Structure 1
Amino acid sequence: MARVVVDPVTRIEGHLRIEVEVEGNKVTDAWSSGTMFRGIEQILRGRDPREAWIWAQRICGVCTTVHALASVRAVEDALGIEVPENANIVRNIIAGTQNVHDHIIHFYHLHALDWVDVTLALKADPAKTSQIAQSISDWPKSSATYFKGVQDRVKALVASNQLSLFSSGDWGHPAYKLPPEVNLLAVAHYIEALDVQREFARVQAVLGGKNPHPQTYLVGGMATAMDGNEPDAVINPERITLLNQLITNARAFVQQVYMPDVLAIAGFYKEWFQYGQGIGNYMVYGDYANGSVKDPAGFMIPRGIIRGRDLSTVHPLDPQHVSEFVTHSWYTYTEGDLVAKHPSQGETNPRYSGPKPPFEFLNTDAKYSWVKSPRYDGVPMEVGPLARTLVAYASGDDQVKKIVDAALAKLSLPPSALYSTMGRIAARAIEAEIMVGRLSGWVAQLDDNMSHGDVVIHNGQKWNPNSWPKSCQGFGFHEAPRGSLGHWVEIENKKIVNYQAVVPSTWNAGPRDAQGQRGAYESALLGTPLIDPERPLEVLRTVHSFDPCMACAVHVVQANGDNYGRKALVI
């Protein structure tokens, strides 16, 4: 039996270490370790609750707006503030844009290279690539001349010896299965996606003031002025036209490039609809309210729990049933490390007891991660696009069922195939297609309200701290691109006395709990085949399918740490 170490896992946000035991070229056990400490919650103590969102969005340099949204919702919940409809719509547009933007980046720029061998694109016949492209989509950039131009650009890059991220791939690995022509197709769309995601991010820049780290959130609404007759207003007829154009362009790319590419690549890797199943429990807070966020019945993304991969029943969800263990995490609780605490009573007391990096192995019998272990009713859950797709599908959402069934039909697969590494990839594309369609509707709502003189976008009724209760608690949530995000705040004497964030990658990347139950990454890796344990590409495929954001789950504190590249250590 060998132990394989991948540290750090790259093409993610933050630092992650994965250790797996391998026997007979299959993973028989796995451990996930966040190797950085997160201290944002401590930084927020003693601050004005109205500015919490500014600090909270610094939890990550990419997932910025999702933390801003969860944070303002937590404070609004604590203070009993309802936001105007226009503010809710603008928040939905910003969050929905982040969702689609994130999924495009994940597939093309963070995950595609686990499936695409860039070097084989140089051997492709551009004419055959053109035939494949035109057979799966009516995207206009599909001529042989176009693909020949892309191929020449890649050849020039190789000749320059300035390969950047292309220099350290697992090129030539026997696990790659795409023919040269499909590799060229994927490389061409990788390059196109760079322009698409840059342009689409302008939606967030317009409504948020900047991107990343938008500046227009406010407790009680938004600071995004609306006025159909004022050219200097952030939201006016000219900006509505711009938003519609940006969304239309993104929708075309999602429908004509992103979704067809996912299905095309998945067709060559159908065995990956069997690997990476994981724990089989899925949790969704729900989001994108048509009205108050206190009414889950009006959510576009339904709230609920699926247990044991049983799509016949969607169980109700109560955030009061969330808890966190630190049994195998480098933290301590005052009541002892075998208990679980609800985040509203949570503690962030770091106590590192592991070896100094670099080191050979973690002591996985003891504490081995800076990530806590969240549980719902004491049970581990997977969160993210797959969870959302499954809950919506099981809830009978007609649009979700139509797109899911159509995608599975093209691949001749049953719904159970979604419980997999490739299923997570497909779920992201499905969600992006649904979300980019909803964005146009929200912009239309905003335009209609403005045309009827409804430009109220902030509720300042409780802006004065003198109107606040002496003590209160609040919960803010959001279905971030990577999954269910929760912020809990406790306010006393007008200041924050406790703040806890349980992020999607904490749910998925957490270590074992007091009962020895594995987290989502650890469970999903079991049974993964490894053709070459010294190049564990297959491990990366499953881990990357979750789109880890360890910057959200943990934060770095090591002034003298070594910077070293990803390596696989096999002993």
Structure 2
Amino acid sequence: MGKHIVIDPITRIEGHLRIEAVIDDNNVVTDAYSSSTMFRGIEEILKGRDPRDCGLLAMRICGVCTGTHYQRSIEAVEHAFKVTIPKNARLVRNMMQGSLYVHDHIVHFYHLHALDWVDITKALEADPKKAVEEAQKWAKLSGQRPWNASEDVYAEVQERVTKYVKQGRLGIFGNAYWGSKAYKLTPEQNLIGLSHYLDALELQREIAKAQAIFGGKNPHPQSIVVGGVTCVQDIKNPARIAEFKTIMQKAQKFAKQAYLPDVYMAGTMYADEALDGTGGGLGNYMSYGDFNLDDTSFYEAKKLFPSGIVMNKDLSKVYDLDQTKISEDVTHSWYEGKTNLHPYVGETKPNYTGFKDKKDGIAYLDIKNKYSWIKSPLYNDNRMEVGPLARMIVGVARGDERISKYVTTFLKNGNLPTKVLFSTVGRTAARAIETEMMSDVILDWADELAKNAASGDLSTWTDFDFDKVSKDAQGFGMAEAPRGALGHWIKIKDGKVLNYQAVVPSTWNAAPKDYKNRMGAYESSLVGTKVVDPDMPLEILRTIHSFDPCIACAVHIVDTKGKELGVYKIDPTGVCRA
């Protein structure tokens, strides 16, 4: 008969996500359903507002990939107004976004995803001396010394966690599928992963400071404006740029000495799943492209990540991106209105129809009708996967020299064939590859900014006539976020926002089935997955977490009967009242 598994909520992500999976008598997933149980209504809030203010509000869509929605919104308005920003502004934006990538990927792997590979309880059985030898082996693959590896360090880590266990709790490591047969690392390998988990807690705080140097604060930086940036004093001050570099050099060292070796280690131990394509999913990949490398207009500049489409895992062909071919379907989403609308004319009209009746005390999704707050985006009437793996795949298919070098080196060092990329393991590895590349490139941008400022060029903003350009305009900000392709579309009439739509990475990946009943990326990636124990579906979590789900955190709580749930008054004076 098989089983119908419900995992709700999916933990170690941003937001609320529910996964339902159907497994057969052999515990293999045959069907899957992805549902976001939150509503995001920021698009409605932006209507009627000054377009120059949209970034500050759109930023609140997410505080995890912080600043990304802010920048995309600003770029959409700049595109509408035909504004090209100065060199210093381009470099600062690249540095802010680049530091976010490094921060986000490290946090994702260690604090959101590592526990799908690492069994914390088994780490307590490890021999610290053997763990040092193990760490040296994996770091050696990329010609590095292992990060913070010594018998004393590993023994101290064991002691810290053992104290939790003796107290009858695991603290931050509570509520997991410890002991599952789906874990494959040795005790020593688990100890290495645990040690780096704790190290990364300290490091992520430092990397957040790097973004705040030019952004003013973290989360939600505030130095980007339509036309450029406002952090003039930080650009002028060599000490601020040097501070940024020092932090990012430490992050670079961690990426090379801990992150990459740990992914080599996990990838090797889970090689059977990588080779058989577990978690591969759709096989269609899309990148909008991002990080301008010259100062021509935004969509004409050469980019660090090229744009493009790869279909059916075929790296011999890459198709140019055409934003007019993007649409959103709402057949299985809790919205009213027409389906397959381009974002310029998109609608956000809630139509919550609820779950099916309860069975055995569980309310199941109404899978034949509407079952998610996420819409189903399509590109040229195809379902797509976005994210670091898509960027690496498109880059290799484009023949991009830099991306190809990093991907090829990773595969060669790990003695891995290209096909392992099309799997849960490959998706996880792509983030590590991208982190190493970004940690290298971002230091070049810092040097370029310092050199440009030292030459006397302190320009940070391009002037424009708002009254003239904002009468009747439309534009889009399409680039990449850490989790994938992110687009904001805006229509402006008489200086005010007429319509606004954001299609985020997790909209592409976490979407429900479309009007042809085709699966989204999460759903497709689960089909064919073998679950060792249906009561501990670790394999399902491992694949879902490989996408780094971010279900919008800035949301509205909706009462389906129209009841007002709460009214809040904001004190703008800045006075703190305890």
TM above 0.5: yes
Partner of 1:340: 340
Q: CA deviation at 1:556?
A: 4.2
Given the alignment of the two structures, is residue 54 of structure 1 paired with residue 61 of structure 2, yes or no? no
Kindly tell me the number of residue pairs found equivalent between the two proteins.
549
Q: CA deviation at 1:535?
A: 1.2
Indicate how the Cα distance of structure 1 residues 359 and 81 shifts in structure 2: closer, same or farther if over 3 A, else same: farther
- The DSSP-based 3-state class of the residue aligned with 1:489 is strand
RMSD, aligned CA = 1.8
User: TM-score, normalised to structure 2's length?
Assistant: 0.92
- Counterpart CA distance in 2 for 1:175 and 1:169 is 13
- Counterpart CA distance in 2 for 1:527 and 1:484 is 26
What letter corresponds to residue 527 of structure 2 in structure 1? Answer: L
- Kindly report which structure 2 residues correspond to 1:10-21, keeping only aligned pairs within 5 A, or say none: 10-21=11-22
Q: CA deviation at 1:167?
A: 1.4
Structure 1: segments with no counterpart, 5+ residues? 227-232, 562-571
- Counterpart CA distance in 2 for 1:215 and 1:421 is 35
- Counterpart CA distance in 2 for 1:201 and 1:370 is 31
Q: CA deviation at 1:84?
A: 0.7
- Counterpart CA distance in 2 for 1:474 and 1:295 is 12
- Kindly report which structure 2 residues correspond to 1:125-164, keeping only aligned pairs within 5 A, or say none: 125-137=127-139, 138-139=145-146, 141-164=148-171
Partner of 1:436: 439
Structure 2: segments with no counterpart, 5+ residues? 140-144, 565-578
Deviations 1:231-266 (A, max 9, x none): xx5641111211111111110000111001110111
- Kindly report which structure 2 residues correspond to 1:182-201, keeping only aligned pairs within 5 A, or say none: 182-201=189-208
- The DSSP-based 3-state class of the residue aligned with 1:201 is helix
- Kindly report which structure 2 residues correspond to 1:157-556, keeping only aligned pairs within 5 A, or say none: 157-226=164-233, 233=234, 235-273=236-274, 274-290=277-293, 291-296=295-300, 298-333=302-337, 336=338, 339-355=339-355, 359-462=362-465, 465-551=466-552, 556=557
- Residue 33 (structure 1) aligned to one of 24, 32, 35: 35
Partner of 1:567: none
- Counterpart CA distance in 2 for 1:296 and 1:272 is 40
Q: CA deviation at 1:158?
A: 2.1
Q: CA deviation at 1:160?
A: 3.4
Q: CA deviation at 1:493?
A: 1.1
Indicate how the Cα distance of structure 1 residues 71 and 30 shifts in structure 2: closer, same or farther if over 3 A, else same: same
- Counterpart CA distance in 1 for 2:300 and 2:3 is 48
- The DSSP-based 3-state class of the residue aligned with 2:39 is coil
Contact 2:66/2:100 (8 A) holds in 1: no
Q: CA deviation at 1:469?
A: 4.0
Deviations 1:355-404 (A, max 9, x none): 38994211110000000000000100000000000011111122322222
Contact 1:296/1:303 (8 A) holds in 2: no
User: TM-score, normalised to structure 1's length?
Assistant: 0.93
- Counterpart CA distance in 2 for 1:93 and 1:457 is 14
What letter corresponds to residue 336 of structure 2 in structure 1? Answer: T
- Counterpart CA distance in 2 for 1:132 and 1:469 is 61
What letter corresponds to residue 448 of structure 1 in structure 2? Answer: K
- The DSSP-based 3-state class of the residue aligned with 1:47 is coil
Identity over the aligned pairs, expressed in percent?
Answer: 49
Q: CA deviation at 1:555?
A: 5.3
Partner of 1:568: none
Contact 2:33/2:512 (8 A) holds in 1: yes
Q: CA deviation at 1:163?
A: 2.5
- The DSSP-based 3-state class of the residue aligned with 1:478 is strand
